Amino acid sequence: MRQLLLLLLLATGTSFITPKPTLYIIGDSTVRNGDGSGKNGQWGWGSLIHQYFDTTKINISNQAIGGRSSRTFITEGRWERILNDLRAGDYVIMQFGHNDSGPLDDTARARGSIRGTGEESREIYNPIRKRQEVVHTYGWYMRKYIADAKAKGAIPIVCSPIPRDRWQNGRVSRADNNYGKWAKEAAAAGGAYFIDLNHLVADRYEILGAEKVKTLFHGDHTHTGKAGAELNAKILSGALKQPMGQYLLPPPRLIKKKATLAAMRLANKYFMQQWPDPGKPTFVKKERPSNLWTRAVYYEGLMALYSIDKKKTWYKYAVQWGESHKWGLWGGTQVRNADNQCCGQTYIDLYLIDRKEERIRDIKACMDNMTASQKIDDWWWIDALQMAMPVFVKLGVLYNDTSYFSRMYDMYAYTKYRHGDNGLYNPVDHLWWRDKDFDPPYTEPNGEDCYWSRGNGWVVAALVRTLAELPPSDPHYAEYLQDYKDLLEALLPLQRADGFWNASLHDPGNYGGKELTGTSLFVYGMAWGINNNIIDRETYLPVVIKAWNALVKDCVHPDGKLGWVQSTGKEPKDGQPVTYDKIPDFEDYGLGCFLLGGSEVYKLK
C-alpha cells in the first residue's frame, strides 16, 4: 500500500517536505511577562531565547504566561491546546515553581500545588473555577508534562526555576530544598533532560555581585528587566547544546584582522582622495576651517589607525593638517568651546611623536586659560566631554600637572550633576541626556526618556580616552571607571538584532534603524574594555563581534564610502532618513568613529 501511494505521489509530482520541528516553551512570568514585548519593563527569558536559534531549522513558540503554576497551566486548558499541535520531534522546555507555593483554594488565585513530588492529592473546591478539583503535587504535574510530551514523540526538557534576587551571607538563595530539587527529581523519574537553571543563573549572579544583580530586576525580586532576561536566555542557550545543539546558531565569529584593517584602509583612502588638501576649509551652508570638531574627530580616528598601521601616509596627512592651521584652534587660545579644542588631541599626539613645541603651544595656552578661570559650566552638551576631556588628561600626563585633572573633573561633575535641573546623567538608567532641553519631562514618542545614541557614544569615547591615560591614583579615577562600566552595561540590552544601536536608545520606533556613529563609538568603548581586562570578555565580546561585523558588511561601500551615518545634530530625528547611500552633511566624523572602533577591534585576541 505504501509503495502504491509513493508511486501515485511521484506520478502527480507531489513531494513531501519535512516540517520544521517546534520548540514550545511553557512556564510563568519569569519566562514570558505580559505579551512578551516588555511593555511594563519586565521581561522573561523565553521572549529572548529565539536569538540563539537558527529559526530556518526550528520554530519557537513561547506559550508561557504570567501568574501560572504547574497546576493552573493544565487546568486552564493551555497544556491541552499545545498537545493538540505537538508532533514527534518537537521540543518542550518547561519551567514552573514560582507560583506553586501559593494557597490551593484561595479566592484570589487558587493556583498552588502540593509541595513535593509524591503521589498524594487533595480534593478541594476551587472558588475561581467554581468546581471541585483534585490537586496533586508539583512533581506529579511535572511528570504529567513529561509523559504527555513523550507520548506524542516530543522531547521534554525540564528547567529548575530561575533564582530570585535574594541573598543570604553573600550567596544567592537557591532552590535546593524545594522546587529546584523537585524539578530535578521529576525529570529523573520521567526520563527527561534536566537543566539546573536555578544553579547556573545563581552562580553567575554571585560573580556579578548583589549590587549589579539588583539592576537586572525590574521593580521586585522576581521579575527581570530586559538585561536580566537576556542574561538568563544566554545561560540557558549554553546549557541547551547537548539536547538541541543542531538547532542553535554557532557563536558569532569576528571577521579576520586582515578584513578589519582592509575596511579601515579602504574607508580612509576614500576620504583622503576626497580631501587631498587637509587644510582646505569645509563648506556646509557656510565655510568653516578644517580644524573644526568634525575633522578633529576624524584625526582622532586616523591616529588610532596609525597606532596599528604605521603608514607614513597617515602620519604625514595629519601633520599637514596641523601645519596648515599653524597648530592653532578655531577661535584662538581664548576659545572655551570644547568643539574648537578637540583638534588639540591630535596636536598633542603628533607632538609626542616629534616634540616640536609649536605643535602644542596654542592648545596648552588655551587649556591653561581654562584652568586659570573659575568658570566650569562650559560643557552644557555631552558631546563636549569627548571633545575636551582627553585634551586635559593628555596635558596633565605630559606636564605631570594635576591641575589639568582637577579642572577636568570640576567641569565633568558640573555637566553630570548640576547642568540643567539635575545634571545630564540619569543614575537610574545609566545613560546621558544630550543637553538640558532633553531632561525630563521631555520624552520620546513612546513616553521614554530621550537618549541619543551618538551623544552617549561621545560619553563612552570621552571616558575611554580619559581612563586610558589618567593615572589610577587620581581621586576621581574610580568614578570615571564606574560611569564607564555602568554606561556600557546599560547599552547591552539595547543592541538591535542586526548588531547596530538605534539613534534613539529607548524608543526603537523613533527613527529606528542602522546607524554607524553611535554603534562605532560603542564598539570602541567595549573593545577597549575587553583589551584592557576592565569588562567581562564573555559578556561583551559577542556584542562587539555582532556590531563590528555589521558595520563592515553593511556600511562600507565598495569604494570606501560609509553609509548609515547620521548627519550632525543633537537628537534622533536630525539628519533623517539615514540610509546606506545618503551622504551626511559632514563626511569626516563618521569615519573617525569607525576608525576608533576598528582600531580596538583589531587588537582583540
Q: Which domain holds residue 138?
A: 18-247
Do 506 and 593 fall within a single domain?
A: yes
Do 237 and 273 fall within a single domain?
A: no
Do 107 and 40 fall within a single domain?
A: yes
Do 323 and 272 fall within a single domain?
A: yes
pLDDT at 212: 85
Catalytic residue among 28, 29, 148, 520: 29
Reply yes or no on whether 435 is catalytic.
no
**Residue 117 within any structural domain of the chain:** yes
Do 143 and 290 fall within a single domain?
A: no
pLDDT at 198 over 60: yes
**Diameter of the chain measured on Cα atoms:** 97
pLDDT at 2 over 60: no
**Residue 7 within any structural domain of the chain:** no
**Residue 8 within any structural domain of the chain:** no
**Residue 1 within any structural domain of the chain:** no
Reply yes or no on whether 324 is catalytic.
no
Do 416 and 481 fall within a single domain?
A: yes
Contacts of 427 (CB under 8 A, 6+ apart): none
Identify whether the C-beta of residue 422 lies closer than 8 Å to the C-beta of residue 485: no
Q: Which of 336, 322, 392, 317 is nearest to 591 (CA)?
A: 317
**Bond prior to 390 in cis (omega within 30° of 0):** no
C-alpha cell at 442: 521631555
C-alpha cell at 334: 581664548
**Residue 422 within any structural domain of the chain:** yes
Name the average pLDDT for the chain: 95
**Residue 228 within any structural domain of the chain:** yes
Do 232 and 263 fall within a single domain?
A: no
Confidence of residue 319 (pLDDT cuts 50, 70, 90): very high
pLDDT at 40: 84
Do 297 and 385 fall within a single domain?
A: yes
**Residue 13 within any structural domain of the chain:** no
Contacts of 307 (CB under 8 A, 6+ apart): 599
Reply yes or no on whether 29 is catalytic.
yes
Separation of alpha carbons 111 and 72, rounded Å: 6
Do 517 and 543 fall within a single domain?
A: yes
Catalytic residue among 35, 220, 377, 559: 220
pLDDT at 506 over 70: yes
When pLDDT is averaged across residues 327-354 and rounded to a whole number, the result is 98
Long-range residue pairs from 131-139, CB within 8 A, at least 24 positions apart, any chain: 133/75, 135/71, 135/104, 136/71, 137/113, 138/70, 138/96, 138/97, 138/100, 138/113, 138/114, 138/179, 138/182, 138/186, 139/182, 139/185, 139/186, 139/189
Query: Lowest mean pLDDT: which of 352-361, 362-371, 441-450, 476-485?
Result: 441-450
**Residue 4 within any structural domain of the chain:** no
Which pLDDT tens digit goes with each residue over 403-421?
999 999 999 999 999 999 8
Provide the 8-state DSSP code for 427: T
When pLDDT is averaged across residues 120-135 and rounded to a whole number, the result is 97
Do 201 and 268 fall within a single domain?
A: no
What CATH number is attached to the domain comprising 87?
A: 3.40.50.1110
What CATH number is attached to the domain comprising 368?
A: 1.50.10.10
Number of domains the chain is built from: 2
pLDDT at 11: 52
Positive or negative torsion for Cα 423, 426, 427, 431: negative
pLDDT at 1 over 90: no
Last residue of a domain, one of 212, 247, 282: 247
Last residue of a domain, one of 247, 267, 294: 247
Do 211 and 355 fall within a single domain?
A: no
Catalytic residue among 98, 136, 218, 223: 223
C-alpha cell at 156: 521534554
Last residue of a domain, one of 247, 274, 306: 247
pLDDT at 6: 45
Do 214 and 293 fall within a single domain?
A: no
pLDDT at 219: 82
C-alpha cell at 336: 572655551
Query: Lowest mean pLDDT: which of 309-318, 354-363, 504-513?
Result: 504-513
